[in-house]
Amino acid sequence: MGKVPTHIHSDKDLRLIAYQNVWKTKQRDLLRFIQPGEWYLGSSHHNPGNRHIVQSVFHNEEKGLEMLKFSITHVRNYIGVASGMVATDSPRSYANQHSAGHVNPKDYPALLWRIRFLGDISPAEQRAYVNNVRTWSMLLQKVTKFPPDYNGNDNLMTNSYAKVMEFGSNVLNAVLGSRSALATLHSQAEQVYCSEAGMHLALNLGLNAPLNQASVSALFGADKWANVSTLLNEGEAFWRNGKYLDYYGNGTDGFMQNAEQNRLVEMNPPRVAGSAQRPSPRQTLGWWWAGFPPMGCGRHDRTFHQNRYPA
């Protein structure tokens, strides 16, 4: 194993994890870390041309910006499922269009991030939050639209608690059949790119909008709960052609297009969301920013680096 350059000054907690997309859900090495139901944020790094941090790179407007972002060019969600693990995306077509597969191409390494909760959050509460984040990420990927101009010209509109909840309301309404809500989500101001949907919104909705009867009724209207409860228990049928509104068209296999990996993800049953979720979701706003562990680092072959933290 050769030395891997990184902006992390200590590799004490790094774990090198092998992967190949041809393994699909059966990522043998990766599954030592991802159990069914777990949700990771994955930042994909692509930097084949600028291997050194030098002044000429920073003076170039485009290359300098990418270097400041550590060449993070995409964000994916890595999720444990019954048959192993999958990666899901915003836009949902990403895996098919870019041959990204279940993990990433071999020259496109990723860093995996998991939520690290504060000490007074019990294991049951932690799992309930993760279940909720995972479910919101699926709802977002079903109906949101990716903006055509996303590299610096698509401003973050959900920059307050109220706006996050308004966006979540439109997502639920769209999934449940409101074409006006779907049109709102697809308007230029409401379009969301990969890190907005897969990180910012999934986490802020997941940690602040529990999908249980009390919170759904309080945040989105008492009339919503019966239908939300039903969709949470649909399983794979949630992704069937014509079952619920979807950004993409019907597929030839009976399921919506670009849902091959999403439909393996378990939604959040109400009994789980309702039993362990804290009653005051607004108190959690902002915790997740302080709760992420530091980065690991990837390498341009069949490897991952990842930080390992106890549950």
pLDDT digit string, tens, across residues 164-173: 999 999 999 9
Predicted pLDDT of residue 308 = 26
Q: What is the mean pLDDT of residues 278-303?
A: 32
Q: What residues form DSSP beta bridges with 250?
A: 256
- Write out the H or E segment, with its range, that includes residue 112: strand 110-113
- At 1, the pLDDT band (50, 70, 90 cuts) reads very low
Gyration radius from the chain CA atoms = 19
pLDDT digit string, tens, across residues 142-183: 999 988 776 666 567 888 999 999 999 999 999 999 999 999
Higher confidence at residue 273 or residue 242? 242
In this structure, are residues 86 and 102 in contact, taking their beta carbons and an 8 Å threshold?
yes
From CA 134, how far away is CA 249, in angstroms rounded?
Answer: 23
In this structure, are residues 246 and 68 in contact, taking their beta carbons and an 8 Å threshold?
no
Q: If you average pLDDT over every residue of the chain, what do you get?
A: 78
In this structure, are residues 8 and 307 in contact, taking their beta carbons and an 8 Å threshold?
no
The answer to whether the predicted template modeling score (pTM) of the entire model surpasses 0.85 is no
Alpha-helical segments (H) within the chain: 55-59, 61-68, 94-97, 123-143, 161-175, 179-186, 194-195, 202-208, 213-220, 225-232, 270-276, 287-291
